[in-house]
Each structure stands twice: as structure tokens, then as C-alpha cells.
Structure 1
Amino acid sequence: MPFSLPIDAEANALLDRDPLAVLVGLTLDQQITMEKAFTSPWVLAQRLGHEPTATELADFDPDALIAIFAEPPALHRFPKAMAVRVQEVCRVLVDQYDGDAAALWRGVPTGAELYKRIFALPGFGKQKAQIFVALLGKQYNVQPEGWREAAGAYGEVDAFKSVADIVDDESLAKVRANKKAAKAEARAAKGA
């Protein structure tokens, strides 16, 4: 199934063909909209003049990469921190997966192992790792045994809890409604 977030068609096409773009998008998916996070890999490629490799980003001059992330409109609300984070993730890809983002999940035997590999990435806590497992399972057909369990609630059919379930404007609206309800519930629990 082609990646089909309600974003620019060229950004979706990049997410479709480039596993690194998906990983960068998910790395950036915090404290900004999903649309911004998953469009930013395409904007980064435009600014570089080509689609970068993990090796290129891992070896990039850190200050120059920060400047590219910070160029208006910034690729993230916190361009310095996220440029550093993307570079850290790419260094792990180079050190452990020969610079191949898809090697992170290619041939993984179980959902638990997939979760473990993703959780080990810089900046990937439990929730983000579960979302990525769900995204890979639901949108990229990466479905090792136990992947839904490893993804937790994000792996459920029609969960509408994360980017893993977004395929059009309607599913985006459902995810947004669920996130809004979860935040309201959390606020109510704090007040109780």
C-alpha cells in the first residue's frame, strides 16, 4: 500500500520509496503536526538537492546540518535538537545496519525483536517504538510474528491512534479526535 498521508504527493512518494525518509519522519514526529514531520524529509531532500543517505547524514557537518534544519521554514519546532537527533539515528544505522534503514526491519524474526531494534534508536521510547512497529505492519506489510502485540494498542485493527492508521483525510480526523480525547482524559485524571 502506498504511503498516503494527506500531505504533498511528492512527500508521500519519497516516503513510499525511501525507508530512511520514513524513519526521519517518525524521528521528527513529536511536538509538531504529523503532516509537518512527514513532509520534512522531502523538504530536507529539496534543500540538499538530492535524497540523502544515512551515511551522508551521519557524516554531515553538525553545524551545517543544524543550519539546514533551521532554515525558514524550519524542519521542526526545535531544529537544533532534531538535527542532532536525526544525525544520531543515522549514525546507529551506519554502525549497526550498514547505513541501510530498511535493514532495521528486513528479515526480523519477531515483533518483539523489531520493537527491540526500534526502541534502541536514539529518541525512541516505548510509545514511539510501538507506533513505528504499527506503521511498518499496517502500511509497509512488515509483519513478523507477534508484531501487533509488540505494537501494543497501536497495532490493533482500526485503532486510529497514530500515523500508522492514517491513509486519508477521514482517518486523519479519527486519529486527531482520539488524540484529543486521550489528552482530555489525561487532564481530567490529573485534576482528580
Structure 2
Amino acid sequence: ELAFRMQMEVPQVQDISSEPKSMRDLYGLDDPITKEFAEQCIMARRFSESGVRFVQASHRYWDQHGNLKKDHAANAAQMDKPVAALIQDLKQRGLLEETLVIWGGEFGRTPVAQGTDGRDHNQHGFTMFLAGGGVQPGLQFGSTDEYGYYAVDNRVHFHDLHATILHLLGFDHKKFTHRYAGRDFRLTDVHGRVVHGIL
């Protein structure tokens, strides 16, 4: 019954034409620079509002091995307003406390040039942000060395991030397993700790 109801409601949830001008302006729906990602963010809010438990919005190319300054500036211009609007909108509707917003990727960029105007992958120190869903607002957690290459204070491994996300969703990461080839595997492998400093 739930699956049928969700499928029947999808066309209505996806129809953003009913959004008032105030919401269109907040997200940047009518701005050609922010339109594409704004549509994803407002859809994320609409799906969350209708009871969908996991929603993903994705943005294209951040892998700047060249044209870093120009391309990162363009990416930021496309994303900043819609992401801020999503968080503000969820908060205004009373949904942010029960919705965990995660923004990030699997690595950052090196602080030194690659070629003339790019940066290579850096898995040793980079930024992710979490909002709502039990996370302390306005908190900066951790820092890198003076070069921005290695995380040095309050380091958080991906296993720790996964353990923390699972904790916020109400799961014990040590018990959250899937069976494969006769063995129970964890998302956090044999590692991972909940990062209580951000909760």
C-alpha cells in the first residue's frame, strides 16, 4: 500500500510549478546559473516533505585537474544559493531537525598546483558539511596542517563518518551488517567510531 501511494504521488511531488515566487526566488529557480541545482534541491525538500527517507541531489564536475579557479567559482555559484535555501526551507518547515543534510565528496584537492592551473586528488584532508538531523549547528570540527594538505586536529576517517551517519539514523554501526560469502560485513569494516563532538 505504501509503495503504491508513493508511486501515485510522484508526479504531484515532482511538479514544482505550484511553488510560490518566494520559494522560486529563495532557491534561484528562475536564475539560469542556479536553476539546475535549485530544481534538485527543491525536489529534495518536496520528497522529504512527502515521506521519502533518502534523497540524493548531485552536481556535476568538481574534478578540476585544470581550470580550477574558473570551474570551482562556477560550481560554487551554481550550488551556494540552492543549498542554503534547502537548509533554510527545511528549518522553516520544521523538517531540519529530522532531516540530515550531507554535502561532500570522496576527496578534496591538493594545496599545490597540478600542471598550470589544476589540483590533484587529496584524500588526506578535505571538507564535508552536515546540517540538521542531530548535528550541532555552526560548528567547525577539525583542521588541516598549515598547508591544507593533511588533517591534523580531530581527524575523521570515512569509517567514522559512516558510523556517525548510521548513529544519527538510529543504527549501531557495529551491528549494521550484510552477509556476503558466508561472512557478516559492516559498512565501517572493523573500524569506525561515532564522532560525538559534532552531535
TM over 0.5: no
Greater strand percent: which structure? 2
Please tell me the TM-score bracket, short chain as reference. Answer: under 0.3
Which of these two proteins has the greater Rg computed from alpha carbons?
Answer: 2
Normalising to structure 2: TM-score of the pair? 0.27
Greater helix percent: which structure? 1
